[in-house]
Amino acid sequence: MKYCAQPFLMRRVPMPDRTSLIPRLRTMILSPTARGIVSLLLVFLLGLLFNADGAFFSWDTHRDMLRQVSVYGILACGMTVVIISGGIDLAVGSILGLAAVLFSLFSIHWGWSVIPAIAVTIAAAAFCGAISGGLIARFRIQPFIATLAMMVFARGLAKLVSGGQKISTAVQLPDGSYQYVDVPQIFNTIGSRLLDDNIAVVTLVLMFCVLLSWIFLDRLRWGRYTYAVGGNEDSSWLAGVPVSAVKLLAYALSGLFCGVAGICQAAQELQGDPEAGSTYELSAIAIVVIGGISLRGGRGSIWMTALGILTIGYLEKVLSINAVGEESRLMLTGIIIIAAVLFQKRMR
């Protein structure tokens, strides 16, 4: 610390050391949150440059982006909890497809009321996540293997329940003919827009899921346990943290968010597709990684995931309005994941 003498006051006043500001500034710039903000700004700048004759400047573009990325974002909320706990969940897309089939079956074909249909669907999805967590916590199976097995199982179960067909308003009768039924009101409600026909209901659901994740991770004791287990599992166990219960809860929450996302997916498509959610796990992981959350666990926040949601959403929208094919988008997403992981490794 440097000092300067003030002759009139006859005392030394500390002066800021400019050399100490440089490391602090460098740490701030290279922080995960700053990297997430920079990624979002770069994608936004890309939209400004390739605006498709001004389409990027329309409010409809941003509103539709929020609606389209909402399902991915809901899955990313659960993925955030799992990755902070030190794991990975490859089954989120398949569990979403199973939830979409179950919700459509309950609501459209069986005529259940709204609350039981939603409750049973979310409970079934959370149970699938809990099975993955139980395999990891109780039997010490690697998260990659356990969730890969659940990914295959959930997809097969979705096809079994649906008979390999989409669950829609066309109900097949015993004689082979079809009878068409009305779409339940809950489908129209979730797929509609609120606030002067601007904000989609699924976007509000995404905001609620982000808030719920924040409360769990930042305001509850089990959230602190999740960070501890992801940071150092052995030390957490020695400190008395219920490691197995934390892992089980993390994957159950991931399954719960998959159930919510599956309901939103079915409502937007007005059907339950057993193939729904294919490759969605890739987008969920990309959102978390681009947001700056470490894949090694123990670090990150849901607000970093929110940055990743906006980044992926705007990237998808910019590519869409410029007529870039889906295959190119998938390849670009894969490249972005690798680049983000390599950048994290370099920073460490």
Examine residue 284 and state whether it is found in any structural domain, yes or no.
Answer: yes
Say if residue 1's pLDDT is above 50: no
pLDDT at 212 > cutoff 60: yes
> How far is the C-alpha of 222 from the C-alpha of 246, rounded, in Å?
7
Q: In which band, very low, low, confident or very high, does the pLDDT at 8 lie, cut at 50, 70 and 90? A: very low
CATH number at residue 88: 1.10.3470
Report the amino acid identity of residue 183: V
CA–CA gap between residue 100 and residue 264 (Å, rounded): 8
Residues 11 and 24: their CA atoms lie apart, in Å, by: 28
- Which percentage of the chain shows pLDDT scores above 70? 89
170 pLDDT exceeds 90? no
> Is position 321 within any domain?
yes
> How many domains in the chain?
1
Which tokens belong to 307? 């940055």
- Span between the terminal Cα atoms of the chain, in Å: 29
Domain assignment present for 324: yes
- Domain membership of residue 24 (yes or no) is no
Task: Return the pLDDT at 323.
Answer: 85
311 φ/ψ sector (left φ>0, alpha ψ -120 to 50, else beta): alpha
pLDDT of 347 reads 60
When mean pLDDT is compared over 239-243, 329-333, 341-345, the highest value belongs to 239-243
- Evaluate if residue 284 carries a pLDDT over 90: yes
pLDDT band at 161 (very low <50, low <70, confident <90, very high): very high
- Predicted local distance difference test score (pLDDT) of residue 119: 97
Distance of CA 161 to the CA centre of its chain: 26
Q: Is residue 272 part of a domain?
A: yes
Is residue 215 over pLDDT 60?
Answer: yes
What integer pLDDT is reported at residue 329 of this predicted model? 78
Packing angle of the helix pair 221-231, 59-84 (nearest 10 deg): 70
Contact 102, 124 (CB under 8 A): yes
Inter-residue contact 201 to 194 (CB < 8 Å) = yes
Amino acid identity at 108: I
| Average predicted confidence (pLDDT) for the chain | 88
- Domain residues for 112? 33-347
Sign of CA dihedral 309, 281, 298, 335: negative
Q: pLDDT tens-digit profile of 231-250? A: 999 999 999 999 999 999 99
Q: Is 12 part of a structural domain of the chain?
A: no
At residue 21 the predicted structure's pLDDT band, cuts being 50, 70 and 90, is low
pLDDT above 50 (res 140): yes
> How many residues are given for the chain?
348
Q: Is residue 193 part of a domain?
A: yes
Distance CA(317)–CA(315), nearest Å, equals: 5
Q: What pLDDT is attached to residue 306?
A: 96
Give a yes or no: residue 220 inside a domain: yes
The single residue listed with the structure tokens 């997403």 is 333
Are 122 and 259 within 8 A, CB to CB? yes
Among 99, 116, 120, smallest CA distance to 162 is for 99
